[in-house]
Amino acid sequence: MAIADTNSIIKAYLDTCTTLTALVGTRIYCPRLPENATLPAVSFFSRGGTSTPYIPGLITPSVQFDCWAKDTEVAGVVTSGFTIARQVYRALYDNLQGIQNQIISYPFPLVFPIIWSYRIMSAIEEVQGQDLVDELVPNYFRILTFFSIMIRAE
């Protein structure tokens, strides 16, 4: 069995991570944050990776994640966008770093829908979260990180 869209498999997994979705809700986007998106949010995309011809159903994409937030004010108290972005990054990290053998069911639409299973064999952070200020979008803060995620078709 061939590997389907790895971004969709990763998104399906992240949608099940309650500590992450408690912070961002359904705002997990691929490949980029939509214009005027509500924050906090996560965006990600595969930026490369490796595969082997000897095991065709196994691929290891390198994935860029951006954890987005902005300053918020509630009852006169301002919370820093960096603080919120760091909370989102921490939840992302806790749900990815070191995971093993997470089975993801993913629909593969053909003439009739088929559900294929994939296994996230492992996920390892390649680069620790970096604090960034987006110069193109004022008051948006983000934490940038990269993970290597090994996925196998079942």
pLDDT of residue 56: 74
Q: Is residue 106 part of a domain?
A: yes
Show the beta-strand stretches assigned E in 10-82: 28-29, 41-52, 55-70, 72-74, 77-79
Q: Which two tokens stand for residue 22?
A: 């408690």
pLDDT tens across the length of the chain (154 residues) = 556 688 989 999 999 999 999 999 999 999 988 988 999 999 999 988 877 777 777 889 999 999 999 888 777 777 788 899 999 999 999 999 999 989 887 766 665 667 778 889 999 999 999 998 877 777 789 999 999 999 988 7
Q: Provide the b/e sequence for 53-89 (b: ≥16 CB within 10 Å).
A: eeeeebbbbebbbbbbbbeeeeeeeeeebbebbbbbb
Q: Is residue 88 part of a domain?
A: yes
Contact 94, 19 (CB under 8 A): yes
Q: Is residue 36 part of a domain?
A: yes
Q: Is residue 60 part of a domain?
A: yes
What CATH number does the domain containing 15 carry?
3.30.2000
Total count of domains within the chain: 1
Q: Is residue 13 part of a domain?
A: yes
Provide the domain limits for residue 17. 6-153
pLDDT of residue 135: 76
Q: Is residue 64 part of a domain?
A: yes
Supply the pTM of this predicted model. Answer: 0.88
Cα separations (Å) of 109 from 102, 106, 114, 116, 139? 22, 10, 6, 10, 40
- Greatest C-alpha distance within the chain: 60
pLDDT of residue 80: 84
Contact 132, 120 (CB under 8 A): no
Q: Is residue 85 part of a domain?
A: yes
CA torsion through residues 40, 65, 118, 101, sign? negative
pLDDT of residue 64: 97
pLDDT in tens, 79-96: 788 899 999 999 999 999
Q: Is residue 1 part of a domain?
A: no
